[in-house]
Amino acid sequence: MLEVFQLQLPMGSEWIWILIAIGVLIFGAKKIPELARTLGKSKGEYEKGRIESEKDLKNFKENQDTQKTDTTKVDVSEQKTDKPS
Protein backbone atom coordinates (compact mmCIF):
# COMPACT_ATOMS: atom_id res chain seq x y z
CA MET A 1 0.00 0.00 0.00
CA LEU A 2 2.90 2.42 0.64
CA GLU A 3 4.31 1.66 -2.80
CA VAL A 4 1.52 3.71 -4.36
CA PHE A 5 2.80 6.91 -2.72
CA GLN A 6 6.44 6.31 -3.59
CA LEU A 7 8.10 9.27 -5.39
CA GLN A 8 9.12 8.48 -8.97
CA LEU A 9 12.03 10.56 -10.27
CA PRO A 10 12.46 10.98 -14.02
CA MET A 11 15.19 8.90 -15.64
CA GLY A 12 17.32 9.19 -18.80
CA SER A 13 15.93 11.29 -21.62
CA GLU A 14 13.14 12.69 -19.46
CA TRP A 15 15.73 14.97 -17.84
CA ILE A 16 16.57 16.48 -21.23
CA TRP A 17 12.95 17.46 -21.78
CA ILE A 18 12.73 18.89 -18.28
CA LEU A 19 15.84 21.00 -18.84
CA ILE A 20 14.54 22.22 -22.20
CA ALA A 21 11.23 23.22 -20.61
CA ILE A 22 13.03 25.07 -17.80
CA GLY A 23 15.26 26.82 -20.35
CA VAL A 24 12.27 27.99 -22.36
CA LEU A 25 10.57 29.26 -19.22
CA ILE A 26 13.67 31.14 -18.04
CA PHE A 27 14.95 32.58 -21.32
CA GLY A 28 11.93 32.53 -23.58
CA ALA A 29 11.55 30.81 -26.93
CA LYS A 30 13.04 33.72 -28.93
CA LYS A 31 16.24 33.86 -26.87
CA ILE A 32 17.10 30.12 -27.04
CA PRO A 33 18.43 30.11 -30.67
CA GLU A 34 20.49 33.20 -29.92
CA LEU A 35 22.01 31.53 -26.85
CA ALA A 36 22.74 28.35 -28.83
CA ARG A 37 24.43 30.35 -31.59
CA THR A 38 26.58 32.19 -29.04
CA LEU A 39 27.49 28.91 -27.35
CA GLY A 40 28.48 27.42 -30.71
CA LYS A 41 30.69 30.39 -31.56
CA SER A 42 32.39 30.31 -28.18
CA LYS A 43 33.04 26.57 -28.54
CA GLY A 44 34.57 27.20 -31.97
CA GLU A 45 36.84 29.90 -30.58
CA TYR A 46 37.88 27.60 -27.74
CA GLU A 47 38.79 24.85 -30.21
CA LYS A 48 40.80 27.29 -32.35
CA GLY A 49 42.71 28.45 -29.28
CA ARG A 50 43.34 24.88 -28.16
CA ILE A 51 44.68 23.85 -31.57
CA GLU A 52 46.87 26.96 -31.78
CA SER A 53 48.31 26.38 -28.31
CA GLU A 54 49.05 22.74 -29.17
CA LYS A 55 50.91 23.91 -32.29
CA ASP A 56 52.88 26.45 -30.26
CA LEU A 57 53.78 23.85 -27.66
CA LYS A 58 54.89 21.40 -30.34
CA ASN A 59 57.06 24.07 -32.01
CA PHE A 60 58.54 25.04 -28.64
CA LYS A 61 59.44 21.44 -27.87
CA GLU A 62 61.03 21.00 -31.31
CA ASN A 63 63.07 24.19 -30.82
CA GLN A 64 64.21 22.97 -27.40
CA ASP A 65 65.31 19.64 -28.90
CA THR A 66 67.28 21.33 -31.69
CA GLN A 67 68.94 23.69 -29.21
CA LYS A 68 69.98 20.75 -27.03
CA THR A 69 71.59 18.98 -29.99
CA ASP A 70 73.30 22.21 -31.07
CA THR A 71 74.77 22.78 -27.59
CA THR A 72 75.93 19.17 -27.44
CA LYS A 73 77.82 19.62 -30.73
CA VAL A 74 79.42 22.82 -29.40
CA ASP A 75 80.48 21.12 -26.16
CA VAL A 76 82.10 18.24 -28.04
CA SER A 77 84.03 20.56 -30.34
CA GLU A 78 85.19 22.67 -27.38
CA GLN A 79 86.46 19.59 -25.58
CA LYS A 80 88.53 18.58 -28.62
CA THR A 81 90.20 22.00 -28.84
CA ASP A 82 90.89 22.27 -25.10
CA LYS A 83 93.22 19.23 -25.05
CA PRO A 84 96.92 20.13 -25.24
CA SER A 85 98.83 18.82 -28.26
Residue spans of the domains in the chain: they are 29-71
| pLDDT at 77 exceeding the cut of 70 | no
pLDDT of 65 reads: 82
Query: Residues 13, 22: contact at Cβ < 8 Å?
Result: no
The torsion angle over the Cα atoms of residues 15, 16, 18 and 21, rounded to 10 degrees, is 170
Closest of 1, 18, 2, 21 to residue 10, by C-alpha:
18
Query: Residues 18, 10: contact at Cβ < 8 Å?
Result: yes
Query: Residues 9, 17: contact at Cβ < 8 Å?
Result: no
Query: What does pTM read for this prediction?
Result: 0.49
Q: Rounded distance, CA 61 to CA 67, Å?
A: 10
Q: Which residue has the higher pLDDT, 40 or 32?
A: 40
Mean pLDDT of 39-62: 95
| pLDDT at 11 exceeding the cut of 90 | no
pLDDT of 15 reads: 85
